[in-house]
Amino acid sequence: MLVLGIESSCDETGVAVYDTARGLLAHALHSQVDLHQCYGGVVPELASRDHIRRIVPLYREVLARAGVAASAIDAIGYTAGPGLAGALLVGTAFAEALALALGRPACPIHHLEGHLLSPLLADPAPRFPFVALLVSGGHSQIMSVTGVGRYTLLGETVDDAAGEAFDKTAKLLGLPYPGGPQLARLAQSGRPGRVRLPRPMLHSGDLDFSFSGLKTAVLTQVGRGLDGTAAADLAAEFQEAVVDVLVAKACAALKQTRLRELVVAGGVGANQRLRERLDAACARMGARAYYPPLELCTDNGAMIAFACALRMQAGQQIEARSEGFRVFPRWPLGELAPPG
């Protein structure tokens, strides 16, 4: 079965072709980083317009690279939410129109389900059941995953998402958008512990997180002035604080569920320090951490094509319920049927 995947929920247009027999055949991505950089964040209207410009050329490029004809596509998976409404509508309209033209099904896919299942594209791949640590720009959640479509929320952020905290802190440190990777780079030349930042909710006894206080603590430090290596030291300490909390909660989730496999997904999963610390912590517990291929950590079409393929194989396609099509800017992963 050949599945086309379309992602347009935020500032990346992603298109991919996944074959259930041969694996990922091709994927292409257009990042809007340059477009939004001067605004310090994503401007939704500009994002939507750019998706419109990019989506058809990307689709053509991916089919050519995969060496498949449009008529060979068996199904089209597209991100229907959560995300920016206008941006989601571009991918949704394209996918639904193409599906109509080809006489094939179009399947709405939950963006976080795409992230969550993407480590299964890696080699070696984890096996169900596993604990998933989902850390993106919009979400920070720990889930217990027992199979395709079987996701139980164990804990989540009570305020900012981990990626959001990275981005906001990077801005406070004067780094350009997108801040997460920039802050991680700056942290490499700094020393954690020179300034001490809090580890919010580290001992809360549950699997929830909070990151907004950390950002405020950074703001206080920035107010005192940053000279010499202070910015790099602060970046290193911030990263260490986030990583401390994420590692502790991920390990607590493994203990609580008695599972031995941890899957890490979402943009913050690209963070090298997080990976090192999770690998070490898992090894100490006789557990193992799995990550998507680095290029598939942040938003992409491959994870959407893949999630769609797994859902179809499991006979669990999500039906677009209404006439025409709709998007779901807010869509809890625990409620996988789209809101009626």
Residue 181 touches ligand KG4, criterion: CB under 6 A: yes
Shorter beta-carbon distance to ligand KG4: residue 110 or 311? 110
DSSP string, 78-111: EEEESS-HHHHHHHHHHHHHHHHHHT--EEEEEH
User: What is the DSSP-derived secondary structure letter of residue 193?
Assistant: T
Shorter beta-carbon distance to ligand KG4: residue 9 or 221? 9
What the block records as the tokens of 133 is 């640590």
Residue 32 touches ligand KG4, criterion: CB under 6 A: no
Which segment (101-109, 160-168, 245-253, 318-326) binds ligand KG4 by CB under 6 A? 160-168
Shorter beta-carbon distance to ligand KG4: residue 81 or 200? 81
What the block records as the tokens of 320 is 């677009």
Distance CA 56, CA 208 (A): 41
Dihedral sign computed on CA atoms, order 9, 12, 13, 19: negative
Residue 225 CB, nearest approach to ligand KG4 (Å) = 25
Q: Contact, 78 vs 338, CB < 8 A?
A: no
For residue 146, count other CB atoms closer than 10 A to its CB: 14
Phi, psi of 73 (to 5 degrees): -70, 130
Residue 136 touches ligand KG4, criterion: CB under 6 A: yes
Shorter beta-carbon distance to Zn ion: residue 160 or 299? 299
Shorter beta-carbon distance to ligand KG4: residue 63 or 118? 118
Residue 7 CB, nearest approach to Zn ion (Å) = 8
Helices (H), the chain: 33-37, 44-66, 85-102, 111-117, 162-172, 179-187, 212-223, 230-257, 272-285, 302-313
Residue 261 touches ligand KG4, criterion: CB under 6 A: no
Which segment (69-77, 130-138, 148-156, 213-221) binds ligand KG4 by CB under 6 A? 130-138
Q: Which of 77, 138, 155, 292 binds ligand KG4 (CB under 6 A)?
A: 138
Residue-wise over 215-225: b if at least 16 C-beta within 10 A, else e? Answer: bebbeebbeee
User: Which does residue 180 touch among Zn ion, ligand KG4, none (CB within 5 to 8 A, set by kind)?
Assistant: ligand KG4
Residue 298 touches ligand KG4, criterion: CB under 6 A: yes
Question: Which residue type, as a one-letter code, is found at position 67?
Answer: G
Residue 113 CB, nearest approach to Zn ion (Å) = 11
x-marked contacts with Zn ion along 129-148 as a string, rule CB under 5 A: -------x------------
Q: Which of 299, 308, 318, 331 binds Zn ion (CB under 5 A)?
A: 299
Distance CA 85, CA 72 (A): 30
Which segment (25-33, 41-49, 91-99, 161-169) binds ligand KG4 by CB under 6 A? 161-169
What the block records as the tokens of 201 is 């909710």
Q: Contact, 241 vs 212, CB < 8 A?
A: no
Q: Which of 5, 267, 292, 338 binds ligand KG4 (CB under 6 A)?
A: 267
- Site residues, ligand KG4 (CB under 6 A): 10, 115, 136-138, 163-164, 166-167, 178-181, 184, 266-268, 270-271, 298-299
